[in-house]
Each structure stands twice: as structure tokens, then as C-alpha cells.
Amino acid sequence: MKNACRIALLSGAFVLFLAGTMQGGEIKGKVNVQGIKSAENIAVYVDAIAGKDFPAPSQHVTIDQKQMKFAPHVAVVQKGTTVEFLNSDPVGHNVYWPSISGNKKLAHNLGTWPKGERKPFQFNDLGAASLLCNVHPEMSGYVVVVATPYFAVTDKDGNFVIKDVPAGHYTLKTWSEEGKPATLAVDVTAAGASVTLTVSK
């Protein structure tokens, strides 16, 4: 009986140990910029993982149009995510994008609607949609559609944290309004990973 208990305890501990190593951790990092005025609002994401498909998230993401701005300015979403475009201003706003990553076949115009209303759109194509409002030409925002649920947007100092990344070998990529994409190979262990990327004009 005693031995059976010991074996049960040991195998339990082993399962916990395995779970711990599979779990991975956070990818923490900083993006430095060259020739760009700000390190803020840069998307950092784990690129498509060979042999791994992620189901479309059931949770919707809201992009607000508030005080004549798209908020957030840059939203990163996993492929298949439904974005709800909300108008919180007392004026009518429009939402359209002329392309997704330059592909004009993926242009779309959601129309114009008043305060308090939302319009949903499911993003099923990878790439960056440049959001515009045809009522207010000064308004702009971005939806960056990526293949995995592992992404973040940099703060004003270029810092970012991508949470809950399983242990493994990945390719990190960046998207930014002004800079070229940067790519970095990263190994995530149970302790996570710490990286530095440079985005240049």
C-alpha cells in the first residue's frame, strides 16, 4: 500500500513537471527603432507555426472611434477574429480599408453609422488592414491579422510582453506603420524568453 502511494505521488509529480515544461512562459522584450520617431504601437507576434492551426477565437475585439480617433490605433488579432467597430462620437463615422497588406481585392467598406452603434467584421485574411474614415480623412488605424494567438503591441518605450506561449522554437515578427518588418528566431522555455528587436525605416 505504501509503495503504491509512493508511485502515485511520484507519477503525479512527473505529470506536473511535464506540464510545467510544456507550459512555457512569457516572451518579454523591447523594440528599438532606427529612423522612426516612436517605438510605440509596433505589433510583435509569433508567426505561423508549421502543423499548427488555431481555431477562430469566440471572443470579439472592439475598435472604438472616439474623439475622432481609432482606439486602439493598432489592434493585433488572430486570424478569424470578429472585430466590432464602435462609434462613440456624436458624429457619423465611416470605416473602410483600401487593401490588406497591399491586396486591393481585400478592400472593404463597412459604411457609415451613428453614435452607439457597432458593425462587426470577421478578419480571415492575414496582413495589415489600414483603417480609414471617408468622413474624416485625418483618421487612421490598423488591424494586423496574425496566424497565432501569441502577439502584443509595444508601449511608448517599445516594451512588450506576449503571455502564455508554450515552450518551443518560433519566429517572431514585427509590423509597424513606418518601419520594415523585423524577424527573430526565439526559443521559449518554461522560464519564458527575453528578446530585443530592431525596426528600421
* CB closer to Cu ion out of 134 and 189: 134
Which residues of the chain form contacts with Cu ion (CB under 5 A)? 93, 133, 135-136, 139
CB of 75 to Cu ion, least distance (A): 17
Given a contact cutoff of 8 angstroms between Cβ atoms, the answer to whether 82 and 67 are in contact is: no
* CB closer to Cu ion out of 119 and 136: 136
Given a contact cutoff of 8 angstroms between Cβ atoms, the answer to whether 200 and 35 are in contact is: yes
CB of 190 to Cu ion, least distance (A): 47
In order of 13, 60, 132, 189, the CA distances from 171 in angstroms are: 32, 26, 30, 14
Report the Cα 170 to chain-centroid distance in Å.
Answer: 15
Angle, CA 59 vertex, CA 57 and CA 65 arms, to 5°: 120
Measuring CA to CA, which residue among 149, 141, 175 is closest to residue 78? 149
* CB closer to Cu ion out of 93 and 173: 93
CB of 131 to Cu ion, least distance (A): 10
Is the link from the previous residue into 72 a cis peptide, with omega within 30 of 0?
A: yes
CB of 88 to Cu ion, least distance (A): 11
91 secondary structure, DSSP code:
S
Instruction: Pinpoint the alpha helices (H) of the chain.
Output: 2-23
User: What residue number has its CB nearest to Cu ion?
Assistant: 133
* CB closer to Cu ion out of 133 and 172: 133
Given a contact cutoff of 8 angstroms between Cβ atoms, the answer to whether 9 and 162 are in contact is: no
**Grid cell locating 145:** 491579422
* CB closer to Cu ion out of 61 and 110: 110
CB of 39 to Cu ion, least distance (A): 27
